[in-house]
Amino acid sequence: MSRETNPPLNAAARTQAVIESVTAGDAGLVNVSGLIDERFAGFGAVGTLKTLVINVAGMTRMTSFGVRQWLKGMDALPKTLTDVYLLGCPTFVVDQLNMVLNFAGPSKILTVVAPYNCSSCGVESGELIDVLVDRANLAKGGLPEKECSRCGGKLEFDETPESYFSFVNKYAASSIHPAAAQLLANHGLYTSLDSAGEKPPRIIKLVHGSVTYFRIIGTIGSMFRARPLLVGAEGEVVIDLAEVNRFDP
């Protein structure tokens, strides 16, 4: 079901889409805002980037001709891009993901807005869903619980989950490139709680006399498990952190 219900306006009265780009090394961020219509000319010069995030949270509407131009823009993205993501997809973009063949092109979805309502106070709310984190649950028809910002009651999903999230099997991101994750975090746009792109640290154990030595290599974060350090260690224990590159709370 399409949500494009606004009456048509003549082209002169409509605000053209705005494209803003930011790069950091091999990673790029393209912010797309405004109306996507027949004047949409694509996502700008991507150059030699390897990773690209297209932030569509600022998009306000998409016309039928805009869909055509969007598909052209996706098709024009360089084939040298190894990772492309869509961030902040509004409900009308989700509709297109579910209806239009290859609407997302080579991109994978990080987050979408989903329609909820509160049966207690009647408020309607667009809630952000982290597709990367919740993809397995969404694929099974499950939904993250959301709380009403007005009364604190439990929000109810205002669509059929299987229909609204039917794009998940094809387009949901299963991981995020570290460079893209860092770029988004630096701009305060997205910080994933998912560990799909994170590797557990490597632990090396040596025993010399009465001394047990552990060297930890990599990131100490959600994938870190302390059990190997605790089970069976006797005498003096030395933990070498010289090759730990990051501590994530």
Kind of pairing, strands 27-36 and 51-62? parallel
pLDDT tier for residue 230 given thresholds of 50, 70 and 90: low
Residues 86 and 156 in one domain: yes
Residues 22 and 76 in one domain: yes
Boundaries of domain holding 106: 11-186
Distance of alpha carbon 124 from alpha carbon 141, whole angstroms: 21
Domains: count for the chain: 2
Q: Which residues pair with 36 in a beta bridge?
A: 62
- ∠ CA(55), CA(48), CA(181), 5° rounding? 40
69 in any annotated domain: yes
Residues 49 and 155 in one domain: yes
Kind of pairing, strands 111-118 and 124-130? antiparallel
- pTM given for the model: 0.73
pLDDT greater than 80 at residue 246: no
Amino acid sitting at position 93: V
Predicted local distance difference test score (pLDDT) of residue 58: 96
Q: Give the pLDDT mean for 70-98.
A: 97
Distance of alpha carbon 224 from alpha carbon 111, whole angstroms: 26
pLDDT tier for residue 227 given thresholds of 50, 70 and 90: low
Predicted local distance difference test score (pLDDT) of residue 65: 96
Torsion, Cα of 129, 130, 131, 134 (10° steps)? -100
Residues 179 and 211 in one domain: no
Closest alpha carbon to 101 in 122, 137, 74, 132: 74
Predicted local distance difference test score (pLDDT) of residue 14: 59
Distance of alpha carbon 19 from alpha carbon 40, whole angstroms: 10
Helices (H) and strands (E) in the chain, counts: 7, 11
Q: Give the pLDDT mean for 193-214.
A: 71
pLDDT greater than 60 at residue 110: yes
142 in any annotated domain: yes
Pick the last residue of a domain from 136, 161, 186. 186
Predicted local distance difference test score (pLDDT) of residue 217: 82
Residues 130 and 215 in one domain: no
Residue 150 CB contacts under 8 Å (≥ 6 apart), including other chains: 118, 121, 123
DSSP secondary structure, 171-185, as one string: HB-S---HHHHHHHH
pLDDT: is 107 or 198 the higher one? 107
Distance of alpha carbon 65 from alpha carbon 56, whole angstroms: 17
pLDDT greater than 70 at residue 5: no
pLDDT greater than 70 at residue 37: yes
pLDDT greater than 60 at residue 4: no
193 in any annotated domain: no
